[in-house]
Structure 1
């Protein structure tokens, strides 16, 4: 790689004095690494190795170096400069990019997060046909306690009884590693628990309806019942047995059936569906053999119910997180406590729910937004300080995304038609691509990024792809409305190394987009809406057009977390039920007069106001209000006001004219509201009580 040590030193203040660039540090220059390891240990400094290919070898060298600290006491950082920058047709101009990657790799580790625990005793259920289930069990029985559930007839069990065997139709599989609940209906006349596998029934059946799986094919059986007589003392065959529903708990499930027990994209940990694929079976067996004991994973999310816009008073508003979760880990609790419930044992950490959450009630924690924001800001600032221009951040997963970029870099080294990552494209590895969304994209734009590229691979569920495309459409519409030219957020979809050429061409052909004149200096906050507002304010202030040349509002797609509500004043009775339902304090009343007021900046477009309104008088308008240089969206404005209705007895206002007239119109024909009772509806609460008790002939509820 054509590395410029002096150029990197100028771009990285912490690399002052860097002059030597190693070319074979993992081989005949290994002594240089050992000296650096000893020096870092003596000075208490962090050691960074710009090579991931030989990570294992460097860790071994460190362990063998006298005076170096063990990796568990002082972890060595690794960063890939080769495939992401050095192996590219732009390698000689990639110094700013490499400096940015080195700077980001030296940032402190994210704060630890709470963990979720699993405990597995190794109880495995294998579901499938007898022969296939037995073959799988034979590979696992020395490590796990295996039980078979025969889900179909027609194959053979061995004569020896080495493990528990059940038969029946699976009706439900729920749970996760260490806590699977499996239910099935058992209706076959032969009880496998009593069956001795003597084969007497097989020989006795004249129709050949009993196979060596010791189940009766009822479609062939003609009720000779010779098998019952042959079974004799064992009594394993009973055609009068009542079908029963059975349930058992298992730690692990290996499913050999054609269709999986779960329909979601992300299967629960501890469940393996392999069908008849021998390669997948071998991979599952290797993993299953290691799944006994106690395990932990990060709790990927934080949930603040007070911010949640999912439901109020059993009315559902925003359900974006429920719809997008590919692990079915999120469920609505609109009819109980309100809000949602997230099962951390099922959560796979994709973060898509936090991306589509308009309020920030669900926040990604692995790492959190401030940590990710600091990383993006470090990349952008270092790249710019080193002289780089037109920065594009390429967000990709640390799994399939990293492998794909590695393939692209290696192809660029050997294939003249492959360019490799352009020098202006900075790769950003994430636990999952869907965990970063609109507020951090716009923050990166405000901090000087030209573009944000999102690389999707076969890892991403269809729900994630759609949500990211929708969020990208919102970002692009918003930036275009502010006058920033170009395609700012672009989604690149690919499968594997077979798509390298189209991906390479797309990255190379993406023209830079307009960016801010002065990059922002603010840091991403833990509050999603605060971060979004900071980004919007800077982008509006730095808009290429003068404020007076901007439109009053920018129309946005339906997925927008920004917008207004429109009230049909002809239908609205100012009952103010929408005010009580609003989770973001965007709607408010006026204690001094009948008014409905609105602060657009607070609106998250959840729709709770619209679903709560008894008059169907509210609709949503996704947009970004720019009037008065953006100040109008921060000020309360009146959406509707009405003439107050005064009590006919004391004159005190107690409602609106429209609401009281609507009530009188609806109740005028009711037998309980005739004569004086109807007149009392025109009184305030106090006068209504006084009038009732001042009439001795009035029948009161207390008299009934």
Structure 2
């Protein structure tokens, strides 16, 4: 059965050209005026005919409730009103509406591989004694509470009934994720609350009153009488010379009431709440804890191809872009490659944006699925008569909300601006930007609302704009919009004049490998460029460039061994170092691995055939053994070795220095043939 497309002009608040939109649609399309009210019966009738696509998100809950009686029927929603109809140019938005319908009717992408998070009700409350105990008393009936004091309070009083564990400590560290938070702390106070029986003997015995009702010793008042130790007796809860102070525990959830959060991250893990000292913020945080109890399926937002990782080789540092950019601290070094913790990853996609090789690829959505949406939207927009298409990538929550406010309160989106939703706009990298322009967009905007750090996006846009300007494309093609309110978004979009795009859209699709997509996009942009330059200078940090070697290079080939992309290679027929510029990502591993400091990097984009050919960087004659003539390696390398060892006491004589120029076999023979060697040889025989 064909999918039914049901649009609604929301009580005639915007114009919808039913005839124009129905052309080219592989299924019935109908425009309604009150689909969620008076015409709800027609929606029910459409459900009886098969799957339905509804151009309304405001009443999605209502439509889903009606469709619940037909579980076999699929229903999808897209926003026609705020994304297209409610606009100062709404009367000319038909091509954009056609594009949005085409995107909404695409097949559902294959599901993303996920990981399972499971969390029970084991809750750790960390903080000053008074606040921590107060919340523990309130939550003890809903959770399996444990309390960790990180500060004493004379007014706090431990409950006499031991209903939950209470500890005290300092130097608290927290790691892990929902369902598996690991806390480690030091038991620094003399009284171990886990052993204390709360008999109050220590409080009565202390002559200075240094022990409060939270059973913590105030070190400033204590005068080392140790009367409390005697009073505690065989219970042994008080020890001023405790050697074993390390304590640890694992918890499902954490309520951190510390003045400064234990986890200082832009994107903290789910199940961790750090509301600070404000009682209202604490109450709001507590309300969300129940939401994290249970078992959850979480997407693996990022895929790692370790073969392409340029992080390190042979203990030489290379690219650490993803580690530095990860706001969730989900990426760490694991030797020569990085390691991604899927339980901590929140899917912002910044790592895939800054990764020069494509070793990290965003999977939510996959690049190929997103590329299909881009290609479909742009093609349908052109077919419907649209011109100067501008794609607006935005985050699912913050970006979507800002666009809706602009439509409700301002001029809405221009008719040529087509919004495309991403899980996170942080993932809109160089391949998506240039790929979209090659596929026919004249401009690409990234709405940074909800992103963690717009700096990586700005850097990617700057590299792309430099390339386009170098090819002669006029105008501003890329814009990262850091708007926090709808007036700023309105100004950024409505004052933006169209830029010069390609004369013919490309036919390729965005592919999973980042470098392959970039290669396809750059070839197309270069082929249709108004001024097709062959070389474009780029700023430092660009993922394209050249490698050069100085005369100090000895052709030791250390750089070849560390290159993660195969851009550097050793010839098989001669002592020659080759370079394939198309594969170079400017990670710097070759420069860091060179023992002679002979390697220099130059960021640039080479667009002629030379970039796709292996070109020689340096070639040298082969050094041959002075005794047998066997090939030993590059002459500069042998000469460098001789220069370093010539002054060594072990090679003081002429014969010893000559031996350096021999192969391993001849070196042994020569050693045996000298006077001492000959004598030893004869004695053996």
Q: In which range does the TM-score fall when normalised by the shorter chain?
A: over 0.9
Q: 1:558 and 2:557 equivalent?
A: no
Question: 1:454 aligned to 434, 446, 456, which one?
Answer: 446
**Distance apart, 1:427 and its partner CA:** 0.8
**What is aligned with 1:589?**
570
**What is aligned with 1:641?**
619
**What is aligned with 1:99?**
98
Q: 1:692 and 2:684 equivalent?
A: no
**Distance apart, 1:173 and its partner CA:** 0.8
**Distance apart, 1:294 and its partner CA:** 2.3
Q: 1:255 and 2:274 equivalent?
A: no
**What is aligned with 2:594?**
613
Q: 1:674 and 2:646 equivalent?
A: no
Q: What secondary structure, in the 3-state scheme, does the structure 1 residue paired with 2:63 have?
A: helix
In structure 1, distance between residues paired with 2:381 and 2:148: 59
Correspondence 1:497-508 to 2 at 5 A:
499-508=485-494
Correspondence 1:349-498 to 2 at 5 A:
349-411=347-409, 418-457=410-449, 459-462=450-453, 465-495=454-484
**What is aligned with 1:14?**
26
Contact 1:140–1:289 under 8 Å retained in 2: no
Correspondence 1:296-307 to 2 at 5 A:
296-307=297-308
Contact 2:270–2:292 under 8 Å retained in 1: no
Q: Rate the CA distance shift 1:699–1:582 in 2: closer, same or farther, 3 A.
A: farther
Q: 1:119 and 2:110 equivalent?
A: no
**What is aligned with 2:10?**
none
In structure 1, distance between residues paired with 2:516 and 2:217: 66
**Distance apart, 1:368 and its partner CA:** 1.4
Q: What secondary structure, in the 3-state scheme, does the structure 1 residue paired with 2:185 have?
A: strand
**What is aligned with 1:38?**
48
- State the superposition RMSD in angstroms: 2.2
Q: Rate the CA distance shift 1:196–1:689 in 2: closer, same or farther, 3 A.
A: closer
Of 203-212 and 349-358, deviating more is: 203-212
In structure 2, distance between residues paired with 1:185 and 1:700: 69
**What is aligned with 1:662?**
640
Correspondence 1:496-535 to 2 at 5 A:
499-535=485-521
1:115-141 Cα distance to aligned partner (Å, 9 max, x none): 112222321110012221123223432
1:249-297 Cα distance to aligned partner (Å, 9 max, x none): 1111110011111122111222111112334323322222233332220
In structure 2, distance between residues paired with 1:431 and 1:577: 41
Q: What secondary structure, in the 3-state scheme, does the structure 2 residue paired with 1:21 have?
A: strand
Contact 2:426–2:448 under 8 Å retained in 1: no
Q: What secondary structure, in the 3-state scheme, does the structure 1 residue paired with 2:167 have?
A: strand
**Distance apart, 1:6 and its partner CA:** 1.2
**Distance apart, 1:329 and its partner CA:** 1.3
Q: 1:316 and 2:308 equivalent?
A: no
Q: Rate the CA distance shift 1:128–1:685 in 2: closer, same or farther, 3 A.
A: same
In structure 2, distance between residues paired with 1:668 and 1:236: 70
Q: What secondary structure, in the 3-state scheme, does the structure 2 residue paired with 1:637 have?
A: strand
Question: 1:49 aligned to 45, 54, 64, which one?
Answer: 54
Q: 1:683 and 2:672 equivalent?
A: no
Q: Rate the CA distance shift 1:234–1:333 in 2: closer, same or farther, 3 A.
A: closer
In structure 2, distance between residues paired with 1:110 and 1:404: 26
**What is aligned with 1:134?**
133
Correspondence 1:529-544 to 2 at 5 A:
529-544=515-530
Of 340-349 and 242-251, deviating more is: 242-251
In structure 1, distance between residues paired with 2:389 and 2:242: 72
**Distance apart, 1:180 and its partner CA:** 1.4
Q: What secondary structure, in the 3-state scheme, does the structure 2 residue paired with 1:180 have?
A: strand
Contact 1:120–1:251 under 8 Å retained in 2: yes
In structure 2, distance between residues paired with 1:701 and 1:470: 70
In structure 2, distance between residues paired with 1:435 and 1:696: 72
**What is aligned with 1:63?**
68
Contact 1:644–1:654 under 8 Å retained in 2: yes
Q: What secondary structure, in the 3-state scheme, does the structure 2 residue paired with 1:520 have?
A: coil
**Distance apart, 1:696 and its partner CA:** 6.8
Q: What secondary structure, in the 3-state scheme, does the structure 1 residue paired with 2:291 have?
A: coil
Q: Rate the CA distance shift 1:238–1:607 in 2: closer, same or farther, 3 A.
A: closer
Q: Which runs of 5+ in 1 are unaligned?
A: 41-45, 412-417
**Distance apart, 1:536 and its partner CA:** 0.6
Q: Rate the CA distance shift 1:220–1:589 in 2: closer, same or farther, 3 A.
A: same
**What is aligned with 1:167?**
168
**Distance apart, 1:480 and its partner CA:** 0.7
Contact 1:254–1:272 under 8 Å retained in 2: yes
**Distance apart, 1:507 and its partner CA:** 1.1
Correspondence 1:312-351 to 2 at 5 A:
312-334=313-335, 338-351=336-349
**What is aligned with 2:6?**
none
**Distance apart, 1:695 and its partner CA:** 4.3
**Distance apart, 1:404 and its partner CA:** 1.4
**Distance apart, 1:593 and its partner CA:** 2.2
**Distance apart, 1:208 and its partner CA:** 3.6
In structure 2, distance between residues paired with 1:386 and 1:53: 26
In structure 2, distance between residues paired with 1:378 and 1:693: 77
Q: Which runs of 5+ in 2 are unaligned?
A: 1-13
Q: What secondary structure, in the 3-state scheme, does the structure 2 residue paired with 1:110 have?
A: coil
Contact 1:202–1:210 under 8 Å retained in 2: yes
Instruction: Give the number of aligned pairs.
Output: 666
Contact 2:47–2:73 under 8 Å retained in 1: no
**What is aligned with 1:43?**
none
1:369-390 Cα distance to aligned partner (Å, 9 max, x none): 1101001111111111111111
Of 261-270 and 510-519, deviating more is: 261-270
When the two structures are superposed, what TM-score results if normalisation uses the length of structure 2? 0.93
Contact 1:598–1:639 under 8 Å retained in 2: yes
Of 153-162 and 244-253, deviating more is: 153-162
Q: What secondary structure, in the 3-state scheme, does the structure 2 residue paired with 1:381 have?
A: helix
**What is aligned with 2:549?**
567
Q: What secondary structure, in the 3-state scheme, does the structure 1 residue paired with 2:216 have?
A: coil
Q: Rate the CA distance shift 1:242–1:579 in 2: closer, same or farther, 3 A.
A: closer
**What is aligned with 1:27?**
37
In structure 1, distance between residues paired with 2:293 and 2:132: 20
Contact 1:317–1:607 under 8 Å retained in 2: yes
Contact 1:187–1:242 under 8 Å retained in 2: no
Contact 2:122–2:253 under 8 Å retained in 1: yes
In structure 2, distance between residues paired with 1:100 and 1:260: 46
In structure 2, distance between residues paired with 1:466 and 1:472: 10
Contact 1:485–1:514 under 8 Å retained in 2: yes
